[in-house]
Amino acid sequence: MSGPNVWSRSREKLRIFPELFAQCGGEAAAYGKCVAATTTGRQELTRDLCAKEFEALKTCFTNAAKKRVK
């Protein structure tokens, strides 16, 4: 740990975010497409409209984080 407080722990997590995010390109693209579709289509964006895609993305992300710790 680079420091004992929340600030330095958060910054450390943000620092490795891009690395983990890069491993979930497919899920991220699916989620992004789902949300982007609402900007052009007639359907308004409401809460949890793309919950399924987001859950897939989040699972991929947390798995990547677990793999990295190992």
Partner 1 sequence: MSSRLWRRLQQELNQASAASPGSWTWTWISSSSSCCRPRAGLRSEPCRGLSGSSRGTMNVFNREMKKRQKNWAASLQDGHQYDYLRDEVGGRVADRVYDIARTFPLALDIGGGKSHIAEHLSKDVVERLFLTDISESTLVRARRQTEIPTHCILADEEFLPFKENTFDLVMSSLSLHWINDLPGALRQIHQVLKPDGVFIGAMVGGETLYELRCSLQLAETEREGGFSPHVSPYTAVTDLGNLLGQAGFNMLTVDIDDVQVHYPGIIEVMTDLQGMGESNCAWNRRSMLHRDTILAAAAIYKEMYGNEDGSVPATFEILYMIGWKPHESQAKPAKRGSATASFGELSKISRPNNTDKS
Q: Kindly list the residues in this chain that would bind partner 1 in the complex (CB under 8 A).
A: 14, 17-18, 21, 27-29, 31-33, 35-36, 38-39, 45-50, 54, 57-58, 61
The least CB distance from residue 57 to partner 1, in Å, is 6
Q: Of 8 and 17, which has the nearer Cβ to partner 1?
A: 17
Q: Of 1 and 19, which has the nearer Cβ to partner 1?
A: 19
Task: Please name the residue that has the structure tokens 């420091």.
Answer: 3
45 vs 37: CA distance, rounded Å: 9
> Is the Cβ–Cβ distance between 58 and 68 less than 8 Å?
no
Question: 46 in helix, strand or coil?
Answer: coil
